Amino acid sequence: MKTVRRGAKRVKKASKPSRRVRPSKKPSKVRPKKRPRAAAALPVPASPAARAARAVRAGLSVQDAILAGVLDPLLIIDGVGTVERASGSSARVFGWEPHELVGRNIKILMPEPYRSEHDGYLAAYRKTGKSALLGKTREFPIVRKDGVVIVCEMSVSRIDVPGRPDPLFTGSFRDITERKRAAEDAERASARERAMLKALATIGESSAILAHEIKNPITALNVALRAVADKLGSEDREVVDDLAARLRKVEAMIRRTLSFTRPLDLKIERIAPKDLAAKVATALAPRLKQWPNVVFRQECRAKEPIEIDVDLMVDVASNLVMNAVEAADGARVRIRARCMDDGPDRVRFEVEDDGPGFADSVLSKVFLPFVTTKATGTGLGLAWCKKIVDEHGGSLTVHRVEPKGAMMRMLLPRTSLR
Protein backbone atom coordinates (compact mmCIF):
# COMPACT_ATOMS: atom_id res chain seq x y z
CA MET A 1 0.00 0.00 0.00
CA LYS A 2 1.50 3.34 -1.00
CA THR A 3 0.76 6.72 0.83
CA VAL A 4 0.19 9.69 -1.49
CA ARG A 5 0.22 13.16 -0.01
CA ARG A 6 -2.41 15.43 -1.47
CA GLY A 7 -2.51 18.82 0.21
CA ALA A 8 -2.69 18.17 3.90
CA LYS A 9 -4.20 14.77 3.63
CA ARG A 10 -2.58 11.56 3.07
CA VAL A 11 -4.40 9.17 0.90
CA LYS A 12 -3.56 5.58 0.95
CA LYS A 13 -3.60 4.07 -2.53
CA ALA A 14 -3.85 0.47 -3.00
CA SER A 15 -0.84 -0.82 -4.84
CA LYS A 16 -1.20 -3.27 -7.66
CA PRO A 17 -0.26 -6.73 -6.70
CA SER A 18 3.20 -7.57 -7.99
CA ARG A 19 3.41 -10.26 -10.56
CA ARG A 20 5.79 -13.05 -9.85
CA VAL A 21 7.08 -14.92 -12.92
CA ARG A 22 6.90 -18.55 -12.20
CA PRO A 23 8.86 -20.97 -14.37
CA SER A 24 6.57 -22.86 -16.67
CA LYS A 25 6.36 -26.52 -15.89
CA LYS A 26 7.22 -28.72 -18.89
CA PRO A 27 5.73 -32.14 -18.94
CA SER A 28 8.37 -34.60 -17.85
CA LYS A 29 9.28 -37.38 -20.24
CA VAL A 30 8.00 -40.72 -19.26
CA ARG A 31 10.76 -43.22 -19.43
CA PRO A 32 9.72 -46.77 -20.09
CA LYS A 33 10.66 -49.14 -17.42
CA LYS A 34 13.55 -51.41 -18.25
CA ARG A 35 12.45 -54.89 -18.77
CA PRO A 36 14.62 -57.49 -17.14
CA ARG A 37 16.77 -59.37 -19.62
CA ALA A 38 15.85 -62.91 -20.28
CA ALA A 39 18.45 -65.39 -19.17
CA ALA A 40 20.53 -66.79 -22.09
CA ALA A 41 19.63 -70.31 -23.01
CA LEU A 42 22.45 -72.68 -22.20
CA PRO A 43 23.39 -75.14 -24.98
CA VAL A 44 22.38 -78.62 -24.29
CA PRO A 45 25.52 -80.74 -24.41
CA ALA A 46 25.45 -83.28 -27.24
CA SER A 47 25.55 -86.86 -26.29
CA PRO A 48 28.67 -88.87 -27.14
CA ALA A 49 26.66 -90.77 -29.75
CA ALA A 50 25.56 -87.51 -31.46
CA ARG A 51 29.11 -86.16 -31.45
CA ALA A 52 30.37 -89.37 -32.95
CA ALA A 53 27.66 -89.29 -35.63
CA ARG A 54 28.59 -85.69 -36.56
CA ALA A 55 32.26 -86.61 -36.77
CA VAL A 56 31.48 -89.55 -39.01
CA ARG A 57 29.37 -87.38 -41.33
CA ALA A 58 32.08 -84.71 -41.50
CA GLY A 59 34.74 -87.32 -42.14
CA LEU A 60 32.74 -88.93 -44.91
CA SER A 61 32.13 -85.59 -46.66
CA VAL A 62 35.85 -84.78 -46.57
CA GLN A 63 36.64 -88.28 -47.79
CA ASP A 64 34.13 -87.92 -50.62
CA ALA A 65 35.68 -84.59 -51.66
CA ILE A 66 39.17 -86.09 -51.68
CA LEU A 67 38.09 -89.12 -53.70
CA ALA A 68 36.26 -86.90 -56.19
CA GLY A 69 39.20 -84.53 -56.71
CA VAL A 70 42.27 -86.79 -56.66
CA LEU A 71 43.91 -87.03 -60.11
CA ASP A 72 45.29 -90.56 -59.89
CA PRO A 73 42.97 -93.48 -59.08
CA LEU A 74 42.74 -94.29 -55.37
CA LEU A 75 41.09 -97.48 -54.10
CA ILE A 76 40.33 -98.54 -50.52
CA ILE A 77 40.01 -102.28 -49.98
CA ASP A 78 39.44 -104.52 -46.97
CA GLY A 79 41.52 -107.46 -45.81
CA VAL A 80 40.14 -109.85 -48.40
CA GLY A 81 40.51 -107.48 -51.37
CA THR A 82 36.95 -106.13 -51.63
CA VAL A 83 36.81 -102.54 -52.87
CA GLU A 84 35.05 -100.28 -50.33
CA ARG A 85 35.70 -96.86 -51.90
CA ALA A 86 37.01 -95.73 -55.30
CA SER A 87 38.02 -92.29 -56.57
CA GLY A 88 36.33 -90.58 -59.50
CA SER A 89 39.52 -90.82 -61.57
CA SER A 90 39.04 -94.60 -61.73
CA ALA A 91 36.63 -94.08 -64.62
CA ARG A 92 39.21 -92.19 -66.69
CA VAL A 93 42.12 -94.57 -66.09
CA PHE A 94 40.49 -97.96 -65.50
CA GLY A 95 37.27 -97.51 -67.48
CA TRP A 96 35.25 -98.53 -64.37
CA GLU A 97 32.90 -96.06 -62.67
CA PRO A 98 33.53 -95.88 -58.91
CA HIS A 99 30.18 -97.48 -58.01
CA GLU A 100 30.96 -100.36 -60.38
CA LEU A 101 34.15 -101.19 -58.51
CA VAL A 102 32.67 -100.95 -55.00
CA GLY A 103 31.85 -104.45 -53.77
CA ARG A 104 34.05 -106.20 -56.34
CA ASN A 105 37.38 -107.81 -55.59
CA ILE A 106 40.36 -105.72 -56.68
CA LYS A 107 41.80 -108.65 -58.58
CA ILE A 108 39.37 -107.80 -61.37
CA LEU A 109 41.99 -105.18 -62.36
CA MET A 110 44.82 -107.72 -62.49
CA PRO A 111 46.03 -109.80 -65.43
CA GLU A 112 47.12 -113.38 -65.02
CA PRO A 113 48.98 -114.81 -63.17
CA TYR A 114 48.51 -112.05 -60.55
CA ARG A 115 44.71 -112.47 -60.53
CA SER A 116 44.87 -116.14 -59.55
CA GLU A 117 47.63 -115.58 -56.98
CA HIS A 118 46.18 -112.50 -55.22
CA ASP A 119 43.96 -114.33 -52.70
CA GLY A 120 47.00 -116.34 -51.62
CA TYR A 121 49.03 -113.15 -51.07
CA LEU A 122 46.32 -111.68 -48.83
CA ALA A 123 45.95 -114.94 -46.88
CA ALA A 124 49.71 -115.05 -46.30
CA TYR A 125 49.67 -111.44 -45.06
CA ARG A 126 46.80 -112.11 -42.64
CA LYS A 127 48.79 -115.02 -41.27
CA THR A 128 52.29 -113.49 -41.09
CA GLY A 129 51.72 -109.70 -41.22
CA LYS A 130 54.50 -109.44 -43.79
CA SER A 131 54.23 -108.05 -47.32
CA ALA A 132 56.70 -107.06 -50.01
CA LEU A 133 54.29 -104.41 -51.37
CA LEU A 134 53.36 -102.24 -48.39
CA GLY A 135 54.99 -98.85 -48.25
CA LYS A 136 56.65 -99.22 -51.64
CA THR A 137 56.05 -98.06 -55.21
CA ARG A 138 56.42 -100.51 -58.05
CA GLU A 139 55.34 -100.90 -61.66
CA PHE A 140 52.33 -103.14 -62.10
CA PRO A 141 50.17 -104.15 -65.10
CA ILE A 142 46.48 -103.22 -64.86
CA VAL A 143 43.63 -104.56 -67.00
CA ARG A 144 41.12 -101.88 -67.98
CA LYS A 145 37.42 -102.65 -68.29
CA ASP A 146 37.84 -102.86 -72.08
CA GLY A 147 40.60 -105.47 -71.70
CA VAL A 148 43.50 -103.16 -72.60
CA VAL A 149 46.53 -103.68 -70.36
CA ILE A 150 48.23 -100.50 -69.08
CA VAL A 151 51.24 -100.03 -66.82
CA CYS A 152 50.84 -98.15 -63.55
CA GLU A 153 53.06 -97.08 -60.71
CA MET A 154 51.27 -98.64 -57.74
CA SER A 155 51.71 -97.69 -54.06
CA VAL A 156 49.96 -99.69 -51.30
CA SER A 157 49.57 -98.55 -47.67
CA ARG A 158 47.89 -100.01 -44.60
CA ILE A 159 45.30 -98.00 -42.62
CA ASP A 160 44.27 -98.95 -39.07
CA VAL A 161 40.81 -97.48 -38.38
CA PRO A 162 39.91 -96.94 -34.69
CA GLY A 163 37.10 -99.22 -33.62
CA ARG A 164 37.55 -101.50 -36.61
CA PRO A 165 39.18 -104.86 -35.93
CA ASP A 166 40.61 -105.42 -39.40
CA PRO A 167 42.83 -102.97 -41.29
CA LEU A 168 42.05 -101.31 -44.60
CA PHE A 169 44.46 -100.85 -47.47
CA THR A 170 44.79 -97.96 -49.92
CA GLY A 171 46.20 -98.37 -53.39
CA SER A 172 47.14 -95.40 -55.56
CA PHE A 173 47.78 -95.88 -59.27
CA ARG A 174 49.57 -93.61 -61.77
CA ASP A 175 49.28 -94.50 -65.45
CA ILE A 176 52.81 -94.47 -66.94
CA THR A 177 52.01 -96.38 -70.12
CA GLU A 178 52.89 -93.54 -72.50
CA ARG A 179 56.00 -92.59 -70.54
CA LYS A 180 57.20 -96.18 -70.53
CA ARG A 181 56.47 -96.60 -74.24
CA ALA A 182 58.44 -93.42 -75.03
CA ALA A 183 61.36 -94.66 -72.93
CA GLU A 184 61.32 -98.02 -74.72
CA ASP A 185 61.22 -96.28 -78.12
CA ALA A 186 64.16 -94.10 -77.09
CA GLU A 187 66.09 -97.16 -75.92
CA ARG A 188 65.44 -98.97 -79.21
CA ALA A 189 66.55 -95.90 -81.17
CA SER A 190 69.64 -95.63 -78.98
CA ALA A 191 70.42 -99.31 -79.55
CA ARG A 192 70.12 -98.84 -83.31
CA GLU A 193 72.37 -95.79 -83.13
CA ARG A 194 74.95 -97.68 -81.06
CA ALA A 195 74.90 -100.52 -83.60
CA MET A 196 75.37 -98.08 -86.47
CA LEU A 197 78.22 -96.27 -84.69
CA LYS A 198 79.87 -99.58 -83.94
CA ALA A 199 79.64 -100.53 -87.62
CA LEU A 200 81.02 -97.14 -88.66
CA ALA A 201 83.82 -97.46 -86.13
CA THR A 202 84.71 -100.85 -87.60
CA ILE A 203 84.86 -99.27 -91.04
CA GLY A 204 86.92 -96.42 -89.63
CA GLU A 205 89.45 -98.79 -88.10
CA SER A 206 90.07 -100.41 -91.48
CA SER A 207 89.84 -97.17 -93.48
CA ALA A 208 93.60 -96.95 -94.09
CA ILE A 209 93.66 -100.35 -95.79
CA LEU A 210 90.45 -99.58 -97.70
CA ALA A 211 91.78 -96.19 -98.82
CA HIS A 212 95.00 -97.77 -100.07
CA GLU A 213 93.14 -100.49 -101.96
CA ILE A 214 90.75 -98.06 -103.68
CA LYS A 215 92.80 -94.91 -104.04
CA ASN A 216 95.84 -96.42 -105.72
CA PRO A 217 93.93 -97.91 -108.70
CA ILE A 218 92.04 -94.64 -109.20
CA THR A 219 95.29 -92.65 -109.16
CA ALA A 220 96.81 -95.05 -111.69
CA LEU A 221 93.77 -94.67 -113.92
CA ASN A 222 94.08 -90.88 -113.80
CA VAL A 223 97.76 -91.04 -114.82
CA ALA A 224 96.95 -93.44 -117.66
CA LEU A 225 94.11 -91.27 -118.91
CA ARG A 226 96.34 -88.17 -119.00
CA ALA A 227 98.95 -90.11 -120.97
CA VAL A 228 96.34 -91.32 -123.44
CA ALA A 229 94.79 -87.85 -123.74
CA ASP A 230 98.11 -86.38 -124.98
CA LYS A 231 97.96 -88.71 -128.01
CA LEU A 232 94.32 -88.08 -128.89
CA GLY A 233 92.60 -85.37 -130.85
CA SER A 234 90.62 -82.55 -129.24
CA GLU A 235 87.26 -84.36 -129.48
CA ASP A 236 88.59 -87.59 -127.95
CA ARG A 237 90.46 -85.62 -125.34
CA GLU A 238 87.18 -84.08 -124.09
CA VAL A 239 85.80 -87.56 -123.49
CA VAL A 240 88.94 -88.62 -121.61
CA ASP A 241 88.97 -85.40 -119.55
CA ASP A 242 85.33 -85.96 -118.58
CA LEU A 243 86.17 -89.52 -117.51
CA ALA A 244 89.14 -88.27 -115.48
CA ALA A 245 86.94 -85.66 -113.78
CA ARG A 246 84.44 -88.34 -112.82
CA LEU A 247 87.22 -90.50 -111.38
CA ARG A 248 88.47 -87.55 -109.33
CA LYS A 249 84.96 -87.07 -107.97
CA VAL A 250 84.78 -90.75 -106.97
CA GLU A 251 88.19 -90.42 -105.31
CA ALA A 252 87.09 -87.34 -103.37
CA MET A 253 83.90 -89.06 -102.22
CA ILE A 254 85.80 -92.12 -101.03
CA ARG A 255 88.29 -89.94 -99.19
CA ARG A 256 85.58 -87.93 -97.44
CA THR A 257 83.55 -91.04 -96.63
CA LEU A 258 86.55 -92.65 -94.97
CA SER A 259 87.28 -89.41 -93.10
CA PHE A 260 83.66 -89.29 -91.91
CA THR A 261 83.80 -92.78 -90.42
CA ARG A 262 87.15 -92.23 -88.73
CA PRO A 263 87.00 -91.16 -85.03
CA LEU A 264 88.07 -87.54 -84.45
CA ASP A 265 91.15 -86.65 -82.46
CA LEU A 266 90.42 -83.08 -81.38
CA LYS A 267 93.34 -80.76 -80.74
CA ILE A 268 91.78 -78.28 -78.34
CA GLU A 269 93.13 -74.72 -78.27
CA ARG A 270 91.97 -71.54 -76.58
CA ILE A 271 91.18 -68.77 -79.07
CA ALA A 272 89.37 -65.45 -79.10
CA PRO A 273 86.24 -65.45 -81.31
CA LYS A 274 87.51 -62.46 -83.33
CA ASP A 275 90.72 -64.36 -84.13
CA LEU A 276 88.67 -67.38 -85.23
CA ALA A 277 86.57 -65.09 -87.46
CA ALA A 278 89.76 -63.71 -89.01
CA LYS A 279 90.99 -67.23 -89.81
CA VAL A 280 87.65 -68.08 -91.42
CA ALA A 281 87.79 -64.91 -93.56
CA THR A 282 91.34 -65.77 -94.66
CA ALA A 283 90.32 -69.32 -95.61
CA LEU A 284 87.29 -68.08 -97.58
CA ALA A 285 88.94 -65.20 -99.45
CA PRO A 286 90.45 -67.16 -102.39
CA ARG A 287 87.35 -69.33 -102.79
CA LEU A 288 84.89 -66.43 -102.79
CA LYS A 289 86.84 -64.66 -105.58
CA GLN A 290 85.44 -67.27 -107.96
CA TRP A 291 81.88 -66.16 -107.15
CA PRO A 292 81.44 -62.49 -108.14
CA ASN A 293 77.70 -62.50 -107.37
CA VAL A 294 78.27 -63.36 -103.71
CA VAL A 295 78.08 -60.53 -101.16
CA PHE A 296 79.68 -61.80 -97.95
CA ARG A 297 79.68 -59.91 -94.65
CA GLN A 298 81.06 -61.08 -91.33
CA GLU A 299 80.67 -59.66 -87.83
CA CYS A 300 81.85 -60.86 -84.44
CA ARG A 301 80.51 -59.52 -81.14
CA ALA A 302 81.59 -62.39 -78.88
CA LYS A 303 84.25 -61.37 -76.34
CA GLU A 304 85.38 -64.24 -74.17
CA PRO A 305 87.73 -66.91 -75.61
CA ILE A 306 86.53 -70.43 -76.43
CA GLU A 307 88.20 -73.84 -76.37
CA ILE A 308 87.95 -75.65 -79.73
CA ASP A 309 89.91 -77.50 -82.38
CA VAL A 310 90.68 -74.36 -84.38
CA ASP A 311 91.49 -76.03 -87.72
CA LEU A 312 88.37 -78.19 -87.68
CA MET A 313 86.13 -75.30 -86.64
CA VAL A 314 87.54 -73.08 -89.41
CA ASP A 315 86.70 -75.98 -91.73
CA VAL A 316 83.11 -76.09 -90.41
CA ALA A 317 82.51 -72.32 -90.71
CA SER A 318 84.01 -72.23 -94.21
CA ASN A 319 81.92 -75.22 -95.23
CA LEU A 320 78.69 -73.58 -94.04
CA VAL A 321 79.44 -70.42 -96.01
CA MET A 322 80.44 -72.30 -99.17
CA ASN A 323 77.34 -74.48 -98.91
CA ALA A 324 75.21 -71.33 -99.14
CA VAL A 325 77.35 -70.05 -102.04
CA GLU A 326 77.06 -73.27 -104.04
CA ALA A 327 73.33 -73.62 -103.34
CA ALA A 328 72.77 -70.28 -105.12
CA ASP A 329 74.39 -71.82 -108.21
CA GLY A 330 75.83 -68.55 -109.54
CA ALA A 331 72.81 -66.38 -108.71
CA ARG A 332 73.25 -63.25 -106.64
CA VAL A 333 73.22 -64.10 -102.97
CA ARG A 334 73.96 -62.24 -99.75
CA ILE A 335 75.56 -64.19 -96.92
CA ARG A 336 76.06 -62.92 -93.40
CA ALA A 337 78.13 -64.73 -90.78
CA ARG A 338 77.68 -63.70 -87.14
CA CYS A 339 79.43 -64.67 -83.93
CA MET A 340 77.98 -63.64 -80.56
CA ASP A 341 77.77 -64.68 -76.92
CA ASP A 342 74.83 -66.93 -76.03
CA GLY A 343 74.76 -66.59 -72.26
CA PRO A 344 77.82 -66.97 -70.03
CA ASP A 345 78.68 -70.52 -71.11
CA ARG A 346 78.04 -70.67 -74.86
CA VAL A 347 78.95 -68.99 -78.14
CA ARG A 348 76.56 -68.80 -81.09
CA PHE A 349 77.64 -68.82 -84.74
CA GLU A 350 75.11 -68.16 -87.50
CA VAL A 351 75.44 -68.26 -91.29
CA GLU A 352 72.39 -66.72 -92.97
CA ASP A 353 71.70 -66.35 -96.69
CA ASP A 354 68.87 -65.16 -98.94
CA GLY A 355 69.37 -67.99 -101.44
CA PRO A 356 66.90 -70.72 -102.46
CA GLY A 357 66.84 -72.37 -99.04
CA PHE A 358 65.83 -76.00 -98.48
CA ALA A 359 62.79 -77.88 -99.72
CA ASP A 360 60.47 -79.44 -97.14
CA SER A 361 61.52 -82.93 -98.23
CA VAL A 362 65.18 -82.13 -97.49
CA LEU A 363 64.97 -79.86 -94.44
CA SER A 364 64.78 -82.67 -91.87
CA LYS A 365 67.54 -84.70 -93.56
CA VAL A 366 70.21 -82.10 -94.42
CA PHE A 367 72.70 -83.51 -91.91
CA LEU A 368 72.39 -87.13 -93.03
CA PRO A 369 75.27 -88.58 -95.08
CA PHE A 370 74.85 -88.59 -98.88
CA VAL A 371 71.86 -86.17 -98.81
CA THR A 372 72.48 -83.25 -101.19
CA THR A 373 70.56 -80.80 -103.38
CA LYS A 374 73.60 -79.85 -105.49
CA ALA A 375 74.40 -81.47 -108.82
CA THR A 376 78.07 -81.92 -107.92
CA GLY A 377 77.66 -82.45 -104.16
CA THR A 378 78.69 -85.60 -102.29
CA GLY A 379 76.18 -85.12 -99.47
CA LEU A 380 78.90 -85.40 -96.82
CA GLY A 381 79.75 -81.73 -96.21
CA LEU A 382 76.98 -80.89 -93.70
CA ALA A 383 77.15 -84.38 -92.16
CA TRP A 384 80.87 -83.83 -91.58
CA CYS A 385 80.22 -80.39 -90.06
CA LYS A 386 77.62 -81.79 -87.66
CA LYS A 387 79.94 -84.56 -86.59
CA ILE A 388 82.66 -82.04 -85.69
CA VAL A 389 80.21 -79.82 -83.78
CA ASP A 390 78.77 -82.84 -81.92
CA GLU A 391 82.28 -83.93 -80.93
CA HIS A 392 82.75 -80.46 -79.37
CA GLY A 393 79.57 -80.94 -77.29
CA GLY A 394 77.66 -78.38 -79.37
CA SER A 395 74.70 -78.41 -81.72
CA LEU A 396 74.16 -77.54 -85.39
CA THR A 397 70.64 -76.81 -86.65
CA VAL A 398 69.06 -75.45 -89.82
CA HIS A 399 66.26 -72.85 -89.93
CA ARG A 400 64.16 -71.22 -92.64
CA VAL A 401 64.49 -67.49 -93.27
CA GLU A 402 61.52 -65.50 -94.56
CA PRO A 403 60.77 -64.63 -97.30
CA LYS A 404 63.49 -66.94 -98.60
CA GLY A 405 66.81 -68.37 -97.57
CA ALA A 406 68.23 -70.47 -94.79
CA MET A 407 70.24 -70.07 -91.61
CA MET A 408 72.68 -72.52 -90.04
CA ARG A 409 72.99 -72.04 -86.28
CA MET A 410 75.90 -73.51 -84.35
CA LEU A 411 76.04 -73.44 -80.55
CA LEU A 412 79.34 -74.30 -78.86
CA PRO A 413 80.24 -74.55 -75.17
CA ARG A 414 82.82 -71.97 -74.19
CA THR A 415 84.81 -74.59 -72.30
CA SER A 416 85.80 -77.87 -73.93
CA LEU A 417 84.24 -81.02 -72.53
CA ARG A 418 87.41 -82.98 -73.19
Is 113 found in the same domain as 231?
Answer: no
- Please report which confidence band the pLDDT of residue 250 belongs to, taking 50, 70 and 90 as the band edges: confident
H or E segment to which residue 159 belongs = strand 149-159
Closest CA to 104 of 90, 93, 92: 90
Is 373 found in the same domain as 327?
Answer: yes
Is there a domain that residue 209 lies in?
yes
Boundary residue ending a domain (148, 175, 202): 175
Domain with 348 in it: what CATH number? Answer: 3.30.565.10
pLDDT at 62: 73
- Determine the Cα–Cα distance for residues 105 and 278; give it in Å rounded to an integer: 76
Indicate the pTM of the whole model: 0.46
Is there a domain that residue 243 lies in?
yes
pLDDT higher at 359 or 72: 72
pLDDT higher at 3 or 198: 198
- Please report which confidence band the pLDDT of residue 292 belongs to, taking 50, 70 and 90 as the band edges: confident
The predicted-structure confidence for 199-237, as pLDDT tens digits, reads as follows: 766 666 666 566 666 767 777 777 777 777 667 666 667
Is 189 found in the same domain as 152?
Answer: no
Domain with 112 in it: what CATH number? Answer: 3.30.450.20
Is 287 found in the same domain as 376?
Answer: yes
The parent domain of residue 279 ranges over 268-413
The predicted-structure confidence for 5-30, as pLDDT tens digits, reads as follows: 555 455 555 555 555 555 555 555 55
Mean pLDDT, to the nearest integer, of 254-268? 74
Give ∠ CA 386-304-396 in degrees, rounded to 5.
Answer: 15
The predicted-structure confidence for 144-199, as pLDDT tens digits, reads as follows: 999 999 999 999 999 998 888 889 999 999 999 999 999 888 888 888 877 877 77
DSSP conformation letters of 100-153: HHTTSBGGGG--TTHHHHHHHHHHHHHHH---SSBT-EEEEEEE-TTS-EEEEE
The predicted-structure confidence for 90-139, as pLDDT tens digits, reads as follows: 999 999 999 999 999 999 999 999 999 999 999 999 888 888 888 889 99
Is 208 found in the same domain as 142?
Answer: no
Is 278 found in the same domain as 194?
Answer: no
State the DSSP code for 104.
S
Is there a domain that residue 3 lies in?
no
- Give yes or no for residue 74 having a pLDDT over 70: yes
How many independent structural domains does the chain possess?
Answer: 3
- Give yes or no for residue 31 having a pLDDT over 80: no
Is 247 found in the same domain as 220?
Answer: yes
Boundary residue ending a domain (117, 140, 175): 175
**Burial (0-12, 13-18, 19+ Cβ within 10 Å), 161:** exposed
Is 306 found in the same domain as 208?
Answer: no
The predicted-structure confidence for 313-355, as pLDDT tens digits, reads as follows: 999 999 899 888 888 877 888 889 899 988 888 999 999 988 8
Is 278 found in the same domain as 385?
Answer: yes
Boundary residue ending a domain (152, 175, 198): 175
- Please report which confidence band the pLDDT of residue 403 belongs to, taking 50, 70 and 90 as the band edges: confident
pLDDT at 246: 75
Is 257 found in the same domain as 291?
Answer: no
Is there a domain that residue 284 lies in?
yes
Is 239 found in the same domain as 365?
Answer: no
Is there a domain that residue 364 lies in?
yes
- Give yes or no for residue 282 having a pLDDT over 80: yes
Task: Report the DSSP pairing between strands 306-309 and 294-300.
Answer: unpaired
- Give yes or no for residue 264 having a pLDDT over 90: no
